[in-house]
Structure 1
Amino acid sequence: MTDAGSEFFESFDGTRLALHRHGSGRPLVLLHGLFSSARMNWIKWGHDEAIAAEGYEVLMLDFRVHGESEAPHDPARYPENVLVRDVAALVDHLGLDEYDLGGFSLGARTSLHAVANGVLSPARLVVGGMGTAGLGEWEKRAAYFRRVIDEFDAIPRDDPAYFSMQFLKSQGVDRKAARLLLDTMPDLDLARLAGVTMPALVVCGDEDRDNGSAEELADLLPGATYMEVPGTHMSSVTKPDLGRAIADWLGPAA
């Protein structure tokens, strides 16, 4: 496990967000998955270390309601696509011009929303653990997590949602804030992906179907390379193959 220190900045609406840095060199902004954190997705399993070794400064945000970031209860702090606005605030805070952007699951989804909607223009894009359904049919996925939150302690052990409930509990997620956050995430018109033209890596576990077809998503991105790593949606991020695949695709920083 690598040790990336925490620092904090204020997002566009004053919400206090945590940032973890590792390495030095070309900036790579990495975004974690839903109800996870930078430490859980990128640092614990050494992915940040593998990427930093290629000459990158890995900049890992904790989304609002996640990790060490603030989890406000005021509904006004949750406008549509608030996470895209948080990432844009981070890029502005750091004064980034030439940088790469990537994420896993929710982090990948947020990255694609940011680029497809013209909010951010990274040089390269890494899309991990995401498929077409996680973009164009996100409302179905969000409804699943709303149920997990709303029925939290009443979910029986034999229910498929029980594992998700246990994960939320293990991460100490603020359920009231999480419920507000889920309502900020719109579906993405897949036709907009034709405008995402920078080089992109679509990488997914070979047993991961949680967000639909990653291979179909890669086909919709004009500059995409598709790669599989071992694992399901939950296990692929715990294996060194994911970080190695990202590092190898990025290559040594110029």
Structure 2
Amino acid sequence: MSDSVRDERFPGFGGASLALHRLGTGRPVILLHGLFSDAQTNWIKFGHAAQLAEAGFEALMPDLRAHGDSAAPHEPSAYPPDVLALDLQALVAHLGLTHFDLCGFSLGARTAVRAVLAGLAPRRLVLGGMGLEGLTGWGDRRSFFLDVIARYGTIKPGDPAYFAQQFMKSTGVDREAAALLLGSMENTAPEALAGISMPTLVVCGSEDDDNGSADRLAETLPNATRETIPGTHMSSVTGKALGKAIVRWLAAD
């Protein structure tokens, strides 16, 4: 196992220069981070990628468009519908992957779903921090985050948007690019989820209902297993349980 993160770049949709961080050697697993986050914050900092590398996987961690070290263009043309799924397809093609696993947390889970529905075929799938309503009622979440961006810097403690504002400050997200990116995302019809046939783990914090009901999501998917880990939407990323759940699921066969 390589114990250091290797950084490189790959061309996303439209040739956008996107960052990719790699750790370990072995069967590839793509890890997609959450909104306003990045690979370092979501997967590297708290050891989830290291757990996967130690278990014999190669963790492939892109910074999504408009996040982390990736390009954050300000041209609306750089954000067509489902651009993050297009970027993910570009990554798979760039690396020539044919046998891989796919894991996403929050926005990353949403991106994974949209990519699978568009034809991507991972061996196994992990959807973290996601509930049914976060997919089928994404418009409400999008409106919430657009409001955070519009009121950025003025939101006070006690406001439901305060923690999202503070997280944006900590990661230095480009707000103009993030607003354009949010506009590229649409709802997923509940009946479309029947097309996700690979074994899927739905893992969510015990106090996390930010994206709706994880139980209902697991019930809607045709081949899903549900697991609960400690924490809220934010704190569930900081403990070891998330990485352990992912490793157990991906190493099951």
- TM-score, normalising length: structure 2: 0.97
Distance in 1 of aligned mates of 2:244 and 2:134: 24
Give yes or no for contact 1:17–1:64 (8 Å, CA) kept in 2.
yes
Q: Deviations over 1:174-219 (max 9, x none)?
A: 1110110010000000111111111111100011000001011011
Q: Displacement, 1:169? A: 1.1
What residue number does 1:103 align with? 104
What residue number does 2:171 align with? 171
Distance in 2 of aligned mates of 1:233 and 1:12: 29
Give yes or no for contact 1:31–1:38 (8 Å, CA) kept in 2.
yes
Any unmatched runs of 5+ in structure 1? none
Give yes or no for contact 1:29–1:59 (8 Å, CA) kept in 2.
yes
What residue number does 2:54 align with? 53
Q: Displacement, 1:3? A: 4.0
- Alpha carbon RMSD of aligned pairs, Å? 1.1
What residue number does 1:89 align with? 90
What residue number does 1:75 align with? 76
Q: Which secondary structure does the structure 2 equivalent of 1:13 belong to?
A: helix
Partner amino acid, structure 1, of 2:179:
R
Partner amino acid, structure 2, of 1:88:
Q
Q: Displacement, 1:228? A: 0.5
Distance in 2 of aligned mates of 1:35 and 1:3: 24
Structure 1 segment 111-126 matched on structure 2, within 5 A: 111-118=112-119, 120-126=120-126
Distance in 2 of aligned mates of 1:10 and 1:93: 8
What residue number does 1:198 align with? 198
Q: Displacement, 1:117? A: 2.8
What residue number does 1:241 align with? 241
Give yes or no for contact 2:101–2:250 (8 Å, CA) kept in 1.
no
Partner amino acid, structure 2, of 1:153:
G
Q: Deviations over 1:65-123 (max 9, x none)?
A: 101101000111000000000000000000000111111000011101111232x1111
What residue number does 1:155 align with? 155
Q: Which secondary structure does the structure 1 equivalent of 2:153 belong to?
A: helix
Q: How many residues align?
A: 251
Q: Displacement, 1:168? A: 0.5
Partner amino acid, structure 1, of 2:91:
L
Q: Displacement, 1:22? A: 0.6
What residue number does 1:41 align with? 42
> Which ranges of 4 or more aligned residues in structure 1 deviate by more than 2 Å?
none
Give yes or no for contact 1:3–1:43 (8 Å, CA) kept in 2.
no
Distance in 1 of aligned mates of 2:196 and 2:160: 35
What residue number does 2:138 align with? 138
Distance in 1 of aligned mates of 2:154 and 2:55: 47
Distance in 1 of aligned mates of 2:13 and 2:160: 37
Q: Displacement, 1:230? A: 0.3
Distance in 2 of aligned mates of 1:10 and 1:223: 33
Residue 21 of structure 1 pairs with residue 59 of structure 2: no
Distance in 1 of aligned mates of 2:206 and 2:4: 29
Give yes or no for contact 1:22–1:58 (8 Å, CA) kept in 2.
yes
Q: Displacement, 1:44? A: 0.2
- TM-score, normalising length: structure 1: 0.96
Q: Displacement, 1:246? A: 0.6
What residue number does 1:230 align with? 230
Distance in 1 of aligned mates of 2:16 and 2:142: 23
